[in-house]
């Protein structure tokens, strides 16, 4: 029987934190205690979990004592401030922010791709960026059969990627426009309703924004392929929830479409969704609240004999964030249930 863990969620009242709570209950994660942590302004809220009412606490010194596992989704600066204290207290932390993703001492894990990396942690495991996770789940099964030489990806990212407030802003803006009013953005820099714009993260001197470089650097780390050629263009679109991506893959040799479809049909975390007669392929409305990444419109690239095109949609909050973190926690708990030879979780935190 697996043991039960004392779990804390840092950022419990945000969009991802709320999803983490729901997933821990729905997937029956083995926990004996759940502590909900957030900023002081959110302290005092109550949340239902397994028939009980839990009160949100303000994150503070000493709050990680007697905690085995921390699921963090509160932003990079918050993670940098509090996660070292959590590790020092003996907890293993799974961080959804970008704070530790490229740290060579911190594993960056997508369970369908590199589950073994989770057991190399030194107290912190990083959850990749949402667009990186969705792409990795879809293309790694092909990469295993024939290594990818080059990736060209364009993303169509929903408001959910900017958090719960951005989702509400999109609704408000859409209603304002329908009422003949001019929307005023506050969360995002420009109106998103009935509009789209390149991702608003900071742009480097080379012209790539931070979101695009996350896809480049994180995919290389997850695939253990530091020289993999990748270019990305990330765009924010007026979709409430779930991201989509158009991906062009180049291989050493031609990769037949039929073979790719057969591989993806049985790939973990993937649903192949193609109806060529009806021109029906993955859409955000179908991917919303789904655990799996929907993949379809797989076709040969007519401009390159070794190229393959595919399209995907996946829930940014679910698999792109909360579910991936819970799956990492499940990896560690399953390992504890069968072995204690590698660092995972224990009642006192990190195993020696």
Pick from 215, 206, 167, 205: nearest CA to 187: 167
Pick from 309, 283, 285, 313: nearest CA to 297: 309
The reply to whether 130 belongs to the active site is yes
- The single residue listed with the structure tokens 């975390």 is 269
Strands in 148-157's sheet, in edge-to-edge order, are 197-198, 229-236, 148-157, 243-251, 307-314, 293-300, 270-272
HSE-CB of 233 using CA atoms within 13 angstroms: 8
| Catalytic hit among 121, 143, 199, 243 | 243
The pair of three-digit structure tokens given for residue 350, joined into one six-digit string: 């990190």
- The single residue listed with the structure tokens 């057969």 is 262
* Category of 284 on φ-ψ map: left (φ > 0), alpha (ψ -120 to 50) or beta: alpha
Distance CA 254, CA 56 (A): 54
| Catalytic hit among 63, 121, 130, 335 | 130
Active site residues: 130, 243
């Amino acid at each position: 029987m697996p043991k039960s863990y004392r779990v804390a969620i840092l950022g419990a009242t945000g969009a991802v934190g709320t999803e983490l709570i729901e997933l821990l209950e729905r997937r029956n994660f083995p926990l004996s205690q759940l502590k909900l942590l957030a900023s002081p302004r959110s302290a005092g809220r109550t949340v239902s979990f397994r028939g009980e009412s839990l009160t949100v606490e303000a994150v503070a010194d000493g709050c990680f004592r007697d905690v085995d596992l921390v699921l963090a989704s509160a932003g990079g600066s918050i993670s940098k401030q509090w996660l070292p204290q959590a590790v020092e207290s003996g907890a293993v932390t799974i961080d959804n922010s970008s704070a530790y993703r490229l740290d060579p001492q911190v594993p960056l894990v997508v369970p369908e791709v590199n589950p073994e990396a989770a057991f190399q942690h030194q107290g912190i495991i990083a959850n990749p960026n949402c667009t990186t996770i969705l792409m990795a789940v879809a293309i790694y099964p092909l990469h295993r059969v024939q290594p990818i030489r080059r990736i060209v990806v364009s993303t169509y990212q929903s408001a959910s990627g900017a958090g719960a407030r951005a989702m509400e802003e999109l609704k408000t803006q859409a209603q304002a426009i329908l009422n003949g009013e001019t929307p005023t953005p506050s969360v995002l820099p420009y109106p998103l309703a009935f509009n789209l714009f390149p991702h608003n993260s900071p742009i480097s001197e080379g012209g790539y924004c931070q979101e695009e470089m996350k896809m480049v650097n994180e995919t290389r780390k997850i695939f253990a392929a530091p020289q993999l050629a990748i270019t990305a263009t990330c765009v924010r679109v007026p979709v409430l929830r779930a991201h989509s991506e158009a991906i062009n893959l180049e291989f050493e040799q031609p990769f037949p479409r039929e073979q790719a479809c057969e591989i993806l049909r049985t790939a973990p975390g993937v649903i192949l969704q193609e109806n060529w007669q009806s021109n029906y392929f993955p859409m955000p409305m179908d991917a919303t609240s789904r655990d799996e990444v929907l993949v379809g419109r797989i076709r040969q690239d007519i401009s390159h004999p070794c190229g393959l095109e595919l399209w995907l949609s996946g829930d940014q909050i679910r698999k792109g964030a909360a579910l991936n973190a819970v799956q990492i926690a499940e990896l560690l708990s399953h390992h504890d249930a069968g072995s204690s030879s590698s660092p995972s979780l224990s009642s006192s935190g990190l195993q020696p």
